[in-house]
């Protein structure tokens, strides 16, 4: 996970109007959502979700189940710009709009007042979004990708595995509940790190052979590529780049 910036994805100016038009009885929706969010987070009613608490303020899906009007879906392409069409959590590239979800950072089933809050939206892949589902920790929450520098809270290893810097932290909960240690993802990170290392090993070799200017130039190009916010798994790659480069060439500058 790396820092993303919301300014690339401004809220539509008429968003509030669209929200109010999409919900059959908006004042009643707000009233019920406020009452629901006043319930303790771990109460059975809250855990059952807002659709069970106030089905009459939602709309019926084809299946007959009550649900939120999903007007955010029309803005998925805009929301995807924020994270360069990558999943904000795992940094995996999304190869088609249908292969991704507009992810509610705080789940709408538990926080219905945030169901239409623009700053609660991110682009998520099926793997991360599916694992996160309606989970929300009783204490502390998860790591937000649009605040601080999320990558500093993780340690990415060469084999693609990842751990949190601090056990029990928001980063640790994010790793566990979003299944960011899943083997499929570990493999993808490892393949990308190995690809980078084929070039970086060569740069280190040149440095040790005395071709320092050329080695530095090559290292600069590698770093520019892997730290590009559009690059897949860039947080893992950038962290590993520095670990290898500083250890092998402590006096080198890029």
Listed in sequence order, the residues at least 6 apart from 157 whose beta carbon sits closer than 8 Å to its beta carbon are 163
Name the minimum Å distance from CB 92 to Zn ion: 5
Comparing CB distances to Zn ion, the nearer of 35 and 230 is 230
Which residues, 75 to 94, sit near Zn ion by CB under 5 A? 87, 89-90
Listed in sequence order, the residues at least 6 apart from 24 whose beta carbon sits closer than 8 Å to its beta carbon are 57, 59
Strand partners, 121: 104
Comparing CB distances to Zn ion, the nearer of 12 and 73 is 73
Name the minimum Å distance from CB 78 to Zn ion: 19
Name the minimum Å distance from CB 123 to Zn ion: 9
Strand partners, 154: 164
Name the minimum Å distance from CB 170 to Zn ion: 17
For the chain, what's the residue count? 254
Please provide the DSSP assignment of 82-125 as one string: HTTTB-TTT-PBP-SGGGEEEEESS-TTT-GGGTT-GGGEEEEE
How big is the site for Zn ion, counted in residues (CB under 5 A)? 5
Strand partners, 104: 121
Give the relative orientation of helices 212-226 and 183-208 as an angle to the nearest 10 degrees. Answer: 160
Residue 128 near Zn ion by CB under 5 A? yes
Comparing CB distances to Zn ion, the nearer of 184 and 202 is 184
Comparing CB distances to Zn ion, the nearer of 87 and 204 is 87
Residue 235 near Zn ion by CB under 5 A? no
Name the minimum Å distance from CB 236 to Zn ion: 13
Binding site for Zn ion (CB under 5 A): 87, 89-90, 125, 128
């Amino acid at each position: 996970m790396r820092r993303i910036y919301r300014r690339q994805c401004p809220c539509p100016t008429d968003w509030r109007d669209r929200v109010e038009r999409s919900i059959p009885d908006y004042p009643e929706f707000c009233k019920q959502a406020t009452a629901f969010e006043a319930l303790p987070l771990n109460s059975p009613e809250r855990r059952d979700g807002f659709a069970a608490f106030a089905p009459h303020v939602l709309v019926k899906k084809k299946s007959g189940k009550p649900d939120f009007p999903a007007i955010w879906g029309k803005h998925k392409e805009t929301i995807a710009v924020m994270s360069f069409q990558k999943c904000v959590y795992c940094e995996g590239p999304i190869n088609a709009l249908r292969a991704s979800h507009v992810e509610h950072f705080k789940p709408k089933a538990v926080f219905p007042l945030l169901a239409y809050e623009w700053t609660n939206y991110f682009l998520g892949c099926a793997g991360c979004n599916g694992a996160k589902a309606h989970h929300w920790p009783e204490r502390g929450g998860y790591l937000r990708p649009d605040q601080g520098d999320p990558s500093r809270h993780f340690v990415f290893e060469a084999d693609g595995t990842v751990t949190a810097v601090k056990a029990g932290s928001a980063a640790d909960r994010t790793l566990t509940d979003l299944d960011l240690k899943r083997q499929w993802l570990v493999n993808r990170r490892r393949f990308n790190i190995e690809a980078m290392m084929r070039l970086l090993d060569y740069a280190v070799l040149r440095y040790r052979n005395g071709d320092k200017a050329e080695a530095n130039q090559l290292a600069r190009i590698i770093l520019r590529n892997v730290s590009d916010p559009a690059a897949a798994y860039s947080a893992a790659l950038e962290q590993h780049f520095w670990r290898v480069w500083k250890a092998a060439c402590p006096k080198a500058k890029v």
